[in-house]
Amino acid sequence: MPIHFPTGRSLISVTGEEAEHFLQNLVTCDVETLPEDVARPGGLLTPQGKIMFDFLVSRDGAGGFLIDIRSDLAGDFARRLTMYKLRAKVSISESDERVAAVSWQIESGAGNGRAVRDSRFPEALRVMRHLGDAPAGDDDAEGWTELRIAHGVAESGADYEAGDAFPHDVSFDQNGGVDFRKGCYVGQEVVSRMQHRGTARRRLVIAAGDAPLPAPGTALTAGGKTVGTLGSVSGTRALALVRLDRAKDAMDAGTEIAAEGHPVTLSLPAGVGYRWPENAADQGD
C-alpha cells in the first residue's frame, strides 16, 4: 500500500446551521451533493474567474465541512470566508484535525482514523486522505508526485500560482472541481462563459523526455516561442500547463518542444474530455 505523509496542509472548519448554503454560494464545486466519505476539489475565485484558493472539501461527520488547503494560504482563506460571512450562521476556524497521510491502492479498512476518498482520481485507485491517525508505512513522496502526473492532478504552488489560472486551465471542469448546474458563486459568470463558448486555451498535459527534466516553472519552448510551463516533475515526466493551439502547431510543423534544451513529447492525461485542436482557430486568439 503506497503512502505519503504530506506537509504544509491545514484543515479549515466551516460549521453552523447555514454552513452548506454559505459554501454553496461561494465556491466552485457542489457541496450540497457531497457524500460523507468523499473529498471533492474546489476553489474560491476572484471576480474575474481566476483561482485564488484551491482545496479539497469534505464533510466533517457532524453537519459541517473540512477544507483541506495549503497551510500558507489557510489564514488568508479563512479571512476571505469571514469577509463573505456577513450575518450567515456559520463559524470558521482552523481545525484540530490534520491531514495525516495520503494512500492509494489501499485495502478496505486499513488505518484507524477517518479517511475520505480523493475524487480527483479514478475511484478504482482508492486514493484516500487520512485525517487524524494514519496507516503505517514509509513515505513515498515521489510515488505521490508520479500518481498526480499520470492522472493530470494539479495543485497550486507545485503546478500553477494562485491567482494565475482559470478553473478550466487546471482541469476543474474534468474532476468535479467546478459544477455548471449549481447557482451563482464568485467568478461564476466568467467560468460559465468559458465553458459554453469553449474558449479554454491553456490545459494540463504530460511532458515526457529521454532524460530527467528541469525544475518546475521551466518554460516549454518551440521555435524560440513559449508554449507552456513545467509543473510537478518526477524524473523524465512532468505535468505541464500549455497553450494547446501553440503546442499543436509546433507538433504539426515538426518543431521540437523543449525545456531548457531537453526535448519533450506532450500527451493528454487519460480520460480527459478536451482534445488537441484541429487548427489554431479552434482555440481562439
For residue 157, give the DSSP letter: T
Measured between alpha carbons, how far is 142 from 254 in angstroms, rounded to an integer?
33
Last residue of a domain, one of 175, 190, 221: 175
CB 236 within 8 A of CB 260: no
Q: For cell 494560504, name the residue.
A: 73
Report, as an integer, the average pLDDT of 219-227.
Answer: 97
CATH number of the domain to which 38 belongs: 3.30.1360.120
Tens of pLDDT, residue by residue over 90-110, are 999 999 888 999 999 876 555
Enumerate the H helices of 44-126 as residue ranges.
71-85
Tens of pLDDT, residue by residue over 229-262, are 999 999 999 999 999 999 999 999 999 999 999 9
Same domain, 167 and 276: no
Same domain, 158 and 219: no
Measured between alpha carbons, how far is 82 from 76 in angstroms, rounded to an integer?
10
Percent of the chain with pLDDT over 90: 88
pLDDT at 133: 79
Give the torsion sign (CA, 109, 100, 74, 176).
Answer: negative
Please say if the pLDDT value at position 166 is more than 50: yes
Measured between alpha carbons, how far is 57 from 249 in angstroms, rounded to an integer?
38
What's the whole-model pTM score?
0.93
Instruction: Compute CA distances 92 → 8, 9, 30, 141, whole Å.
Output: 20, 17, 19, 31
CATH number of the domain to which 248 belongs: 2.40.30
Same domain, 142 and 67: yes
**For residue 22, which phi and psi values (nearest 5 degrees)?**
-60, -50
pLDDT at 57: 98
List the domain range (segments joined by +) for residue 134: 3-175
* Residue 136: pLDDT band with limits 50, 70, 90: confident
Please say if the pLDDT value at position 173 is more than 80: yes
Measured between alpha carbons, how far is 109 from 218 in angstroms, rounded to an integer?
41
Please say if the pLDDT value at position 77 is more than 60: yes
